[in-house]
Structure 1
Amino acid sequence: MSNHLKSIELFSGAGGLALGMAKSGFHHKMLLEFNRHAVDTLIKNHDDGQAQIKDWNIKHDDIKNISFKKYKGKISVVAGGPPCQPFSLGGKHKAFNDRRDMFPQAVRAVREARPDSFIFENVKGLLRKNFSTYFEYIILQLTYPSTTKREDEDWESHLSRLASTKGRGLKYNVVFRLLNAADYGVPQRRERVFIVGFRSDLGVEWSFPKATHSQDALLWEQWVTGEYWKRLSVSKSDRPTSAISQLASRLQNKYGLFQPKEKPWVTVREAIGDLPCPKNANIFNNHQLKEGAKSYPGHTGSPIDEPSKTLKAGDHGVPGGENMIRFNDNSVRYFTVREAARIQTFPDDYHISGAWSECMRQIGNAVPVRLAEVVAKSVYSAIAANVTF
């Protein structure tokens, strides 16, 4: 896309969302990140001249210190992934009682910059039933960002006032959806909530892009036609043992003679199969073997012929089971940092800085580049049709 719409990004992390947005045509005026290790990754790629990041303005600061008023009327999108630990299935579930809840700061950025749109991403846990009222509060704040919380007001009272507002002042039309990255060609089962809004005066009607890939299409290629194994030159001895006839028969009963219309889910084997064995010296950055992977109940790794499990980042390092590859002989090893970056669809010339555990934390926190690109491209098209360059 030749015309670049301008954007700012909050809570940039290692840059997955930012890379996807850049690939879709947005031009970042600022990337804001507080974590020093993630900033090291951003600056390393910037200084190395990585094609997409080399012109970005990277700011290492706390969002609470930043005013966004200078961007008013100049920005098409405010984007970011507000820290998700308050809502994570693996966290302490404090939500609005957690000092790491950065949604109020995201709302402030929207209020001050008044962008044409915003794109925010967060964990599936945000939709948990016991957070439903607070999630409604987040959506209403983003819908009416200029109806601010008073100093003497608790969040429940503010919620009531937002719910009864007549919508005077700045307003956004907000939609949200739980997306599985595997359904959009990412080699990973990763469910995340995307919240997208367009300023109401633009009159944009928008819905999330339809899924392009499916599990059934992968199973069809594996167990009905066998095309998957042929395409990847996988010998019969290296295929998983499965109730093949039963599975094939179920799929054929469901679809008849016509295979699923979507593309197949992308597997770990497809994502990393052309990388050299990490036990040997190689020219790929971030592609060194980490020893010590073990399999035990509940900690079995990601099967090579499926999309990986969700890569995770924990408060105290990474859990490990989701960060291992399981081969069809049931042996396991840890993903290298490069392999994990491939699974998150980072480009190969993009370097992740830090020790293995820190790199995996950054990758586990990232938005898959390809999924970000799909959503952002759709938002770009909607805005480009409604604004004058």
Structure 2
Amino acid sequence: MNSVELFTGAGGLALGTHIAGFRHRGLVEWDDDACETLRRNVKARALPDIHDWKVHQADVRMLKFDIFGNKGGVDLVAGGAPCQPFSLGGKHQAQEDARNMIPDFVRAVRELQPRAFIMENVKGLMRESFRNYFEYIRLQLINPDLVIKKDETWREHHYRLEKLETKGNKSLKYNVVVELLNAADYGIPQTRQRVFFVGFREDTELAWHFPKPTHSRAALMHAQWVTSTYWEKHRMPRPKEVPAYAVRWTKGKAEPLPPGIAWKTIRDAFDGLPDPRDERKAASIPNHRFIPGARSYYGHTGSPYDLPAKTLKAGVHGVPGGENMLALPDGSVRYFTVREAARLQTFPDTWHFEGSWGETMRQLGNAVPVELAAVVARSVLEELRGQGSH
């Protein structure tokens, strides 16, 4: 099945949909370094069957989507519109922010009329202060044909969409479901929460739900502090000092085996990677250069080795990026290398990143975890296959 990827960035969502079984007609991205990352990996064939990926370096607002085919000829449109307007680290301007590209995702759905779409964004989009705008986004995706008029405010457009929704739309319409997913619950070594909007064109008459979580924090606690199988797997003794969050699991009471597979931790993700402070060993690993200067301070204490990482941020210093650090067992901290951050985002080790350390960390901080994208996309593809493919 074919797809079009918008706001591709370093390729997290694009890789996930590719791994799931979609084949891209085109990837759209405007950032120079992100485009270089994509082009280098396509040229190097970093994954099988990506040699024909065509990267369109363009401002999506200026793009005519008919270059990807006729209406209805695309199976999937996917993309993560820039999240700065809704990010906790941003200015929280939402619809007033010039970087808000969600209207152009809606335009792509309107012009291509795919059988399905996947759009993701940051958890901040669901904040109470954005509640009305969140509903406005959902109504636009349900009714992409009802276009905002010249000089019409988004609130006025919202009112018209509400009327259409209650009256019934007889033109292009999508059945849309929205869910906040925690990446750790699906086997990603990071507690990254992202909002996913998934829609199916109404005439497909398909019934779909989000994949159920497969991993759990409780299962990790059980493996670490009840059975100790976690420590045995890593060939190390169980720590004598028990962290405060795990004390209840060491009370001596028989804890029943929790459902699901244990959350993956940073230690799990970094298995096989040499310590970047050992320059001789780390030199053979692409994007695995040690960056000095990390420090811990209030609100920025790093991520413990034996839990999933905190959410990677699209920055390197201060409020946006201070948490892109590993908290070592001796109490010290250090920055994640690019390769380590890529592991936390479940990019394959064959995927190389272009740009300075700060730029590559920005690419990674903005990315969708590859394996989370694959879980959602694989479920969508399986549903679409019930109708056959183009």
Q: Aligning the two structures, in what range does the TM-score lie when normalised by the shorter sequence? A: over 0.9
Match of 1:294 in 2: 295
Give, as a single letter, the amino acid of the residue that structure 1 aligns with 2:173.
K
SS of 1:132 mapped into structure 2: helix
SS of 2:208 mapped into structure 1: coil
Per-residue Cα deviation, 1:178-214 (whole angstroms, up to 9, x for no partner):
0000000000010010000000000111110000000
Equivalent of 1:41 in 17, 37, 46: 37
Distance between the aligned counterparts of 1:288 and 1:89, measured in 2?
Answer: 29
Match of 1:122 in 2: 121
SS of 1:30 mapped into structure 2: strand
Distance between the aligned counterparts of 2:21 and 2:34, measured in 1?
Answer: 23
* Percentage of matched positions with identical amino acids: 51
Match of 2:157 in 1: 158
Match of 1:311 in 2: 312
Per-residue Cα deviation, 1:197-240 (whole angstroms, up to 9, x for no partner):
00000011111000000000000000111110011112345x65
- The reply on whether 1:65 has 2:62 as its aligned counterpart is yes
C-alpha deviation, 1:319, in angstroms: 3.8
CA contact (8 A) 2:316 2:324 kept: no
CA contact (8 A) 2:315 2:361 kept: no
C-alpha deviation, 1:329, in angstroms: 1.4
C-alpha deviation, 1:47, in angstroms: 1.6
Give the TM-score of the pair, scaled to structure 2.
0.94
CA contact (8 A) 1:172 1:199 kept: yes
Unaligned regions of 5+ residues in structure 1, if any?
none
Give the TM-score of the pair, scaled to structure 1.
0.94
Match of 2:202 in 1: 200
Equivalent of 2:13 in 5, 13, 17: 17
CA contact (8 A) 1:317 1:358 kept: no
C-alpha deviation, 1:333, in angstroms: 1.1
CA contact (8 A) 2:10 2:38 kept: yes
Equivalent of 2:237 in 235, 241, 244: 235
C-alpha deviation, 1:311, in angstroms: 0.2
Tell me the C-alpha RMSD between the 2 structures: 1.8
Match of 2:370 in 1: 369
CA contact (8 A) 1:302 1:322 kept: yes
Once the two structures are superposed, the pairs formed by residues 1-389 of structure 1 within 5 Å of their partners are 5-52=1-48, 53-69=50-66, 70-165=69-164, 166-236=168-238, 241-242=242-243, 246-248=247-249, 258-279=256-277, 280-281=279-280, 282-314=283-315, 319-388=320-389
CA contact (8 A) 1:181 1:191 kept: yes
What number of residue pairs does the alignment pair up?
Answer: 381
Distance between the aligned counterparts of 2:386 and 2:226, measured in 1?
Answer: 43
Residues 199/240 of structure 1: CA separation in 2 closer, same or farther (3 Å cut): farther
